[in-house]
Amino acid sequence: MTSFYFEDIFERYSAEIDDLRSDSEGKDVLKKRLRDKHKEFAFLLSMMDTAPEMVAPAFHGAFGFRSQPLVYGAAHSEPGEDDFPAWSELARTLDIAPWAEPLVAQCLAKDGGDSFLVTAAVLEHMLGSGLAVRAAPASTRDDEEQDEDLGEAGDEWMAEQGFDSVER
C-alpha cells in the first residue's frame, strides 16, 4: 500500500493525464498538450506546492526507472519524512529524457523543487507500473466486478418481473 499522500495525489494525477489525452472529439492530443505544458512550465511551477498533480504531467514520459526499490520506497513515504529520498539520490537511479533536463533545473531552482521532482517521478512510476492498482484497497479494485454483478442481478430481476432482457 502506498502512503496516503500518494494515494490521494495519484488519483488526481491520473485524471489529469486522462484529461490531457484526448480532445472533445476523442482525438489523441496528449503529445501536443504535454508540449504546451512544457512551454508554460515557468508559470506552472507556481502551483508546485498547492497542486502538484497539475504540474507533474509536464514530466510524463521523462523518466526511465533502473532501480525499483528506491522509487517504491518513496511511494510509501511522504515529503518531509526521513525516508523520503532526496532528488539527487533518486535521480541516480533514473534515465532522464534530455528534453526534461531544463524542466528539472527549473524545479531545483525553486524551494520545494527537490521534493516535487521526487513526487513527479513516483507518480510517473505508479502510472506505468500498476503500483497504484496494487495499492488501491480491494474494495476499490472490486467495484467494477460488483457493478457487473449488480447489473446481472438487476437484469435477472427484471426478467422475473416479465420485462425483456437487455443485451449488454
Domain total in the chain: 2
Q: Residue 148 — pLDDT band, cuts 50, 70, 90?
A: low
Q: Tell which residue, 127, 137, 6, 9, has the closest CA to residue 78.
A: 6
Cell numbers for 9, please give them: 495525489
pLDDT at residue 154 tops 90? no
What percentage of the chain carries pLDDT values higher than 90? 65
What is the rounded CA–CA span in Å between residue 37 and residue 14? 16
The pLDDT assigned to 160 comes to 65
Read off φ and ψ for residue 27, nearest 5 degrees.
-75, 145
At 67-109, the pLDDT tens digits run 889 999 999 999 999 999 999 999 999 999 999 999 999 999 9
Q: Which residue has the higher pLDDT, 141 or 163?
A: 163
Pair (113, 146) in one structural domain? no
Domain that holds residue 74: 4-136
* Cβ 106 vs Cβ 45: under 8 Å: yes
Pair (122, 80) in one structural domain? yes
Mean pLDDT, the chain, rounded, equals 84
Query: How far, CA to CA in Å, does 86 sit from each of 13, 94, 126, 141?
Result: 21, 13, 18, 32
Which pTM value belongs to this model? 0.75
* Cβ 135 vs Cβ 1: under 8 Å: yes
Please give the helix or strand (H or E) that residue 33 lies within, else none.
helix 30-39
Cell numbers for 99, please give them: 528534453
Pair (19, 53) in one structural domain? yes
Q: What is the DSSP letter of 96?
A: E
Q: Mean pLDDT lowest for which of 20-24, 39-43, 151-155? A: 151-155
Pair (11, 35) in one structural domain? yes
At 48-70, the pLDDT tens digits run 999 999 999 999 999 999 988 99
